[in-house]
Amino acid sequence: MTRNEAHPITVEVVRNAIVAYADEMANALSKAAYNMMIYEVRDYCCGLIDTQARMISQNRGGLPIFLADLRYVGQEHTIAIPVRDPKLLSGDFAPLRDAFDAEHDQRYGQAAPDERLEIVNVRLVVTAARADTLAERWLSEKWTPEPPVADQWRDVIIADPAKPVRTRIVWRPSLPAGAKVEGPAVIEEPNATTFIYPGDLATMSDTGHLIIDVKL
State percent of the chain over pLDDT 90. Answer: 38
Q: Is residue 49 one of the residues assigned to a domain?
A: yes
In total, how many domains does the chain have?
A: 3
pLDDT digits (tens, 9 = 90+) for 54-90: 667 777 765 556 788 999 998 888 998 888 777 777 7
Q: Is residue 145 one of the residues assigned to a domain?
A: no
pLDDT digits (tens, 9 = 90+) for 1-58: 445 566 777 777 887 888 888 888 888 887 887 776 676 666 677 777 777 666 677 7
Same domain, residue pair 45 and 57: yes
Cα 55 to Cα 129, 141, 172, distances in angstroms: 9, 19, 32
The Cα–Cα gap between 183 and 146 comes to 22
Cα 182 to Cα 84, 188, 205, distances in angstroms: 52, 14, 15
Same domain, residue pair 18 and 54: yes
State pTM to two decimals. 0.43
Same domain, residue pair 20 and 103: no
Q: Is residue 147 one of the residues assigned to a domain?
A: no
